[in-house]
Structure 1
């Protein structure tokens, strides 16, 4: 029991659904369903039927989501395995490069060429439609130069109006 609790605590900090976490989730939802069934038979209230249906839906959706994550993880591992198998064999040379450096440089060149091809086909040059216009700066005699859309200017106008109303 202590190893299960320890594994449960560690699985909380592990990304993805771990088997220990899924067991704890299923046990918790089963216990909640039992409690809701007992309360239904004790009170005959429709509320416990609705709560039980909500609980069952949430329980099923959590298990479905965990299964989908597992399928996705398996697919990603399969893609990584295929990519590893399809990787070019290291080229050995008498130069200063090692086998690892040669394979890395070959893979990066291939990746750069494919990115360059994708970018050259997808990106179109931008045509300049109009000219940029600079915002006109308003000058107020008492406060110096300020922008016409500043919120500080608006607050000053409000406070000036408030002062005039008080007089």
Structure 2
């Protein structure tokens, strides 16, 4: 696990940690585990339904295919999210303020250029 990744105190139980992970930017181990467990349960249920219908219902097969593809996409997105450094609210506010100042400076230069011409 990456040391810079956000983490939650380990003395809480899983569900409290999962609930608290909502307020932490990025992914947490509890959120990833809950995601994988949810997809595994979905695969089990859809596989059971395919077995019970003797694979005669194409809808369950297509739903299983869609859920497998969705799980792969979610795993890819989690990996991409973990590889990117997330900015805090203060950093985002500072960047936005700097962009506004740059736009104001460019606007003033344009006005000065028009006056000189």
Fold match (TM-score > 0.5): yes
Aligned to 1:73, the other structure's residue is in SS state coil
Unpaired stretches in structure 2, ≥5 consecutive residues: 1-11, 88-97
| 1:119 to partner: Cα distance | 4.0
1:61 and 1:17 mapped to 2: Cα distance?
15
Q: Which residue of 2 aligns with 1:88?
A: none
TM-score of the superposed pair, with normalisation by structure 1: 0.44
Unpaired stretches in structure 1, ≥5 consecutive residues: 77-110, 128-167
Q: Which has the higher helix share?
A: 2
Q: How many residues align?
A: 85
2:110 and 2:65 mapped to 1: Cα distance?
53
2:30 and 2:42 mapped to 1: Cα distance?
18
Cα deviation code 1:98-128 (max 9, x no counterpart): xxxxxxxxxxxxx9xxx5xx949xx64586x
1:64-103 aligned at under 5 Å gives the runs: 64-73=76-85
TM-score of the superposed pair, with normalisation by structure 2: 0.61
From the CA coordinates, give the structure whose radius of gyration is larger.
Answer: 1
Cα deviation code 1:11-50 (max 9, x no counterpart): 1222221111010000110110011011001112111110
| 1:58 to partner: Cα distance | 1.4
Structure with greater contact order relative to length (CA < 8 Å, sep ≥ 6): 2
Runs of 4+ in structure 1 off by over 4 angstroms are: 123-127
Q: CA RMSD in A?
A: 2.9
